Structure 1
Amino acid sequence: MEWFSQEKFEVRLEWGISAVEHLAKEVDCVVIVDVMSFSTCVSLAVNNGASTYPYPWKDASAVEYGMKIGAFTASPERRFGGEGYSLSPASIKNISDGEKLVLPSPNGSAVSFKARDAGITVFSGCFRNMSATANACRAFGRVLIIPCGERWPDGSLRPCIEDYVAAGGIISAMCRENRSPEAQAAVATWQYYQNENFELLRSCSSALELTQRGFNEDVELCLEIDKSQKECRLWGDAYMTIPARKSSSQ
């Protein structure tokens, strides 16, 4: 057992893409938590019956990938209006049933890609589908929760409180006692913010950034609790609630 593996515990927690690289091989499923805004965008799309394809690069190759699979490609930058979708959850909330959406993101999508390649079950979780995600995880013995965080200008990880609180909420809703110290600490943080009615999260760094840029609605969408009863599971290359559109041969 490596000292960082949390191997003695059923429910584990570690940050960012390094968690996949070092811990994913020892678990049965992972939950990617990127509240502002990848996981929220995924939940909104899946709740409306759309499929979301994570893509880790915010460049022209994302559009090429979308054209190849017959999907819309979201703009990697938030925007207030115009046609199409972006990384703004508000732009995705009315997506239609059956649509396919490529979502470029260097955080949530990149971690999703890495986890998919590890050959394990992958979920995307956030506040909006917290209980549904926890319920889906109960079918798995060893679960790794991965809050993604953000990036500093030098590319290093900036842990985000909103991802940590949502991760703790998912762990708490799983109702398992065999949690690592890292996972238990996230649960304690979730419980604290429950008592504060989550108002403090509207003043966290990520929320302030969105508010200062004028994306107040995005903040509200990201902080809504259990608005969706659908888990978001990565089936092949796309997040969807069930493999309803997969052929019987797959």
Structure 2
Amino acid sequence: MIRRVTSPYAQDGFRVGFDWATTGAAAVPGSITAVVDVLSFTTTVTVAADLGIDVYPYRWRDESAVAYAKQYDAVLAVGRSEAGPGEVSLSPVTIRQAQGIERLVLPSPNGSTICQQLSDTGSTVIAVSLRNRAAAAEWVSKRLAEDPQLTVVAIAAGERWKVGALRPAVEDLWGAGGFLAALDVDGFSPEARAAAAAYQDAENELPELLHECAGGRELTQYGFPQDVAIAAEVDSSRSVPVLRDGKLSASN
């Protein structure tokens, strides 16, 4: 049964919704929640899933993260700019170069934080990027067809300005919209329709637009243009990482 709530922000009565960041994830419930953080958390998760690596989302890279990684006998990712030879970070390039890693704790203040936030809500959480948006939509569409009472919401993680305010990141809008546009289901909220339309407007100009948007330019200026290139590998992955027992693993 589709959940009925009183909040005007919950996109109640629609099977497909869309919103932003941790606040939107709390405000718009879904039976299935697709978390989208293109530069770079969910892109990195899909690269890891392609290689059979389980990813444990974690908000902060601090002493508690060290203990958390030890608890699961996992490697703790270092800061993107701190990664030396053989070390892994939020950069998907380092995941592709990694050897012998089976479990990875991957801190991120945006996508990873949202995954952790949703882990105890009862929603099925999946990691979606431009790389796996079609595969994820196929996976979700099948489940929605099997149970007409299920709903899905895409949450674009966005970024943060230095003052702490949300910076809606267009790459996450495209990632969420690309996933939504590929769904084989009716009942889109106005917000979901807008996100899908944003992707459809840009899809023929990707990956160029991804390199030219603010997030792409930022990573390039920091010396990580290959991270943007990997994020722009639209539909290259068939992995659908699903959050179960605290870890994102490729769905069977």
Shared fold per TM-score greater than 0.5: yes
Tell me whether 1:184 sits opposite 2:193 in the alignment.
yes
Tell me if structure 2 keeps the 8 A contact 1:48–1:97.
no
**Alignment RMSD, CA only?**
1.5
2:27 counterpart (22, 25, 44):
22
Letter in 1 for 2:38: V
1:145 counterpart (138, 149, 154):
154
Matches within 5 A, 1:3-152: 3-24=8-29, 27-79=30-82, 81-95=84-98, 99-138=102-141, 139-140=143-144, 141-152=150-161
Distance in 1, Cα, partners of 2:128 & 2:248: 11
Distance in 2, Cα, partners of 1:228 & 1:217: 17
Tell me if structure 2 keeps the 8 A contact 1:30–1:144.
yes
How far off is 1:65 after superposition?
1.0
Distance in 2, Cα, partners of 1:78 & 1:225: 25
Distance in 1, Cα, partners of 2:61 & 2:101: 24
How far off is 1:151 after superposition?
0.7
Tell me if structure 1 keeps the 8 A contact 2:131–2:234.
yes
Q: What do the CA deviations read for 1:109-154 (whole angstroms, capped 9, x no partner)?
A: 1100111121210001001111111112121420010000001112
Letter in 2 for 1:125: V
How far off is 1:94 after superposition?
3.7
Distance in 2, Cα, partners of 1:186 & 1:87: 25
Q: What do the CA deviations read for 1:183-207 (whole angstroms, capped 9, x no partner)?
A: 1011111111113244222111111
Letter in 2 for 1:34: D
Tell me whether 1:208 sits opposite 2:208 in the alignment.
no
Q: What TM-score does the superposition give when structure 2 sets the normalisation length? A: 0.91
Letter in 2 for 1:227: S
Distance in 1, Cα, partners of 2:16 & 2:174: 15
How far off is 1:96 after superposition?
5.2
Tell me if structure 1 keeps the 8 A contact 2:207–2:229.
no
How far off is 1:97 after superposition?
7.2
Tell me if structure 2 keeps the 8 A contact 1:34–1:108.
yes
Q: What do the CA deviations read for 1:35-63 (whole angstroms, capped 9, x no partner)?
A: 00000110000111110000011212212
Distance in 2, Cα, partners of 1:186 & 1:10: 15
Runs of 4+ residues over 6 Å off in structure 1: none
How far off is 1:98 after superposition?
6.5
Instruction: Give unmatched runs, 5+ long, in structure 1.
Output: 244-250
Q: How many residues align?
A: 241
Tell me if structure 1 keeps the 8 A contact 2:10–2:28.
yes
For the residue of structure 2 that corresponds to 1:233, the secondary structure is strand
How far off is 1:177 after superposition?
2.7
Tell me whether 1:195 sits opposite 2:200 in the alignment.
no
Tell me if structure 2 keeps the 8 A contact 1:45–1:95.
no
2:181 counterpart (172, 179, 190):
172
Q: What TM-score does the superposition give when structure 1 sets the normalisation length? A: 0.92
Paired position in structure 2 for 1:159:
168
Distance in 2, Cα, partners of 1:78 & 1:118: 34
For the residue of structure 2 that corresponds to 1:183, the secondary structure is helix
Distance in 1, Cα, partners of 2:52 & 2:97: 11
Q: What do the CA deviations read for 1:141-182 (whole angstroms, capped 9, x no partner)?
A: 200100000011121111000000111110011122310111
Structure 1 range deviating more: 172-181 or 194-203: 194-203
Tell me if structure 1 keeps the 8 A contact 2:86–2:99.
no
Letter in 1 for 2:137: A
Tell me if structure 2 keeps the 8 A contact 1:50–1:95.
no
Distance in 1, Cα, partners of 2:100 & 2:61: 25
Instruction: Give unmatched runs, 5+ long, in structure 2.
Output: 1-5, 145-149
For the residue of structure 1 that corresponds to 2:182, the secondary structure is helix
Change (3 A) 1:149 1:108: same
